[in-house]
Amino acid sequence: MPAENHDAVEVIVAKRDGHPLSDSQIDWMVDAYTRGVVADEQMSALTMAILLNGMDRREIARWTAAMIASGERMDFSSLTRPTADKHSTGGVGDKITLPLAPLVAACGVAVPQLSGRGLGHTGGTLDKLESIPGWRAALSNAEMLAQLDDVGAVICAAGDGLAPADKKLYALRDVTGTVEAIPLIASSIMSKKIAEGTGALVLDVKVGTGAFMKTEALARELAETMVALGTDAGVRTVALLTDMSTPLGLTAGNALEVRESVEVLAGGGPADVVELTLALAREMLAAAGVTDVDPADRLANGTAMDVWRRMIRAQGGDPEAPLPTAREQHVVLAPADGVLARLDAMAVGLAAWRLGAGRARKEDAVQAGAGVEWHARPGDVVRAGQPLLTLHTDEPDRFERALASLEGGYDVVPEGSRPELTPLVIDRIG
């Protein structure tokens, strides 16, 4: 067995005491953890030290590079069109990837969208798409490339060969209270996106109660860190800071969000989902060098819908099949006449999770039809006794805990006092 360059305790102590880690220490630690030489409890100690003491830009860039080096890199240079991808830091009702990928492809830019599953209160794109009968998330690299060449868009799971260090580290962070460490969030996201080989990347960094970053200052720090990592790696990278105090659209769940996404592709859908889809599409097209196409036209004329149907069929799904619906529903009524002043994203996300739309552990199954539907958005006038929310689940014993998570999650105020609403797109970085 070859001698190791460092030992884990030396690296942990250095970061515990607030010292920057050397390139050699970082390279060794990530590689040794991937190989199983560094134990989970040792990496847990290091990630906690990173959470508490941070990393400078050089350390984060080196950590990201070490995670990329742990696996393969994809190459889309054989494609005849430019590539662009988008990543959201996760929220409630965030179904934007579903209409966005086919829309950008309809404008002439290939979209290799590697997506994940939901955990806790945030939904997962793959879980949503798996509610479509027959659709499959797992594609080989060759299948992914062929679909990009033919259809122009693919949404699928990352293969095991892409940044395997991140896969191992992500699971560890989730159970050790270190998910929120900005250097680790940034390197986790960017190692996969850089290894994926996209030419341009647009980041949707969520801010607010339903986001991992609760304050604008933290979201801005994360966005700036990721834009710097992408730029340093030669990927054209920009970030939008977007509001996640209120959930997106009118649904949170799996099949519920697919249905809403199809409405957007058909030229309808909630205004905020359309606004954010178009804002991100314009950023992706500009980053890929395509400036002569207005994505709003592609939504209006049905070409984005055509790409959606081809993309779903290419992965074994039936875009015309009826989507699953939950067996049971419970309606929450508006308590008074007035204006809905607030609908808290975290409360709605927890309710959807408790109804069966999400998972507590990676191996848990999700219900395709479970979730929450809301019939008003902040700023809307409501009347006492009208349906405010509808809860969906296959298991009625889940309603009680879901209702408990919604307590205090919305306010109805007298009609004269209009609430102050946060703009959806707060800022652009990059």
User: Which among 86, 168, 173, 398 is annotated as catalytic?
Assistant: 173
Identify the CA nearest to 229 among candidates 63, 115, 74, 76. Answer: 63
Residue 78 annotated to the active site:
no
User: Which among 115, 188, 261, 405 is annotated as catalytic?
Assistant: 188
User: Which among 15, 62, 168, 192 is annotated as catalytic?
Assistant: 192
User: Which among 31, 85, 94, 166 is annotated as catalytic?
Assistant: 166
Identify the CA nearest to 208 among candidates 407, 426, 380, 358. Answer: 426
Distance of CA 81 to CAs 105, 153, 293, 297, Å?
10, 11, 14, 20
Residue 121 annotated to the active site:
no
Residue 87 annotated to the active site:
yes
User: Which among 15, 87, 206, 298 is annotated as catalytic?
Assistant: 87
Q: What is the DSSP string of 269-317?
A: S-HHHHHHHHHHHHHHHHHTT--S--HHHHHHTSHHHHHHHHHHHHTT-
Tokens representing 110 are 């290939």
Residue 362 annotated to the active site:
no
Outline where 154-288 has alpha helix (H): 164-176, 182-196, 216-232, 255-265, 271-287
CA distance 186 to 237: 13
Q: Which helix (H) or strand (E) holds 35?
A: helix 23-35
CB count in 10 Å sphere of residue 213: 23
CA dihedral 88, 92, 95, 101 (to 10 degrees): 0
Is 422 exposed, middle or buried (CB count within 10 Å of its CB: 0-12, 13-18, 19+)?
middle
CA distance 35 to 45: 18
- The SS3 of residue 96 is coil
Residue 337 annotated to the active site:
no
CB count in 10 Å sphere of residue 361: 9
Report, as residue numbers or ranges, the catalytic residues. 87, 166, 173, 188, 192
